[in-house]
Amino acid sequence: MTTTRNFGRLGQVSALTLGGGGIGGVWGRTDRDEAVATVHAALDAGITLLDLAPSYGSDQEAEQVAAAALRTRPAPDLMIATKVGLPDDEDGDVVERLTSSLHASLNRLGRNHIDLFLLHSQLRPSGPMVANTLAWSRYEDEVRPTMERLRDQGTIRAWGLTGVGHPQLVLDALNSDSRPDAVQVVVNALDQSGDIWMFDGVQPRNAEILAAANQGGSSVMAIRALAAGSLSSQVDRPVAADHVTALDFARAQPFRKLAAELGESPASLAHRYALTVPGVATVVLGVKNRTELAECVQAEARGPLTDAELRAVADLREAASV
pLDDT of residue 112: 96
Per-residue confidence (pLDDT) for residue 215, from 0 to 100:
97
pLDDT higher than 90, residue 123: yes
Decide which of 206 and 86 is more confident. 206
Q: Does residue 91 carry a pLDDT above 70? A: no
What is the distance between the alpha carbons of residues 228 and 248, in angstroms, rounded to a whole number?
9
Is 210 a residue whose pLDDT tops 80?
yes
What beta strand segments (E) does 166-311 contain? 182-186, 219-223, 282-285
Pair 289, 314: CB distance under 8 Å: no
How many distinct structural domains can be found in the chain? 1
> Residues 173, 301: contact at Cβ < 8 Å?
no
The reported pTM is: 0.97
| 248, pLDDT greater than 80 | yes
Q: For the domain that residue 225 is a member of, what is the CATH number?
A: 3.20.20.100
Q: Say how far apart CA 165 and CA 205 lie, in whole Å.
A: 10
In whole angstroms, give the CA distance from residue 119 to residue 116.
10
Give residue 66's domain range. 4-321
Q: What is the pLDDT, as a whole number, of residue 90?
A: 62
Q: Note whether 133 and 121 are within 8 A (CB).
A: yes
pLDDT digits (tens, 9 = 90+) for 10-67: 999 999 999 999 999 999 999 999 999 999 999 999 999 999 999 999 999 999 999 9
Of the two residues 322 and 314, the one the predictor is more confident about is 314
Q: If 0-12 CB within 10 Å is exposed, 13-18 middle and 19+ buried, where does residue 90 land?
A: exposed
Model confidence at 207: pLDDT above 80: yes
The mean pLDDT value of the chain amounts to 95
Closest CA to 15 of 308, 301, 312: 301
Given a contact cutoff of 8 angstroms between Cβ atoms, the answer to whether 49 and 77 are in contact is no
Instruction: Identify the band that residue 200 occupies on the pLDDT scale cut at 50, 70 and 90.
Output: confident
How confident is the model over 265-292, as pLDDT tens digits? 999 999 999 999 999 999 999 999 999 9
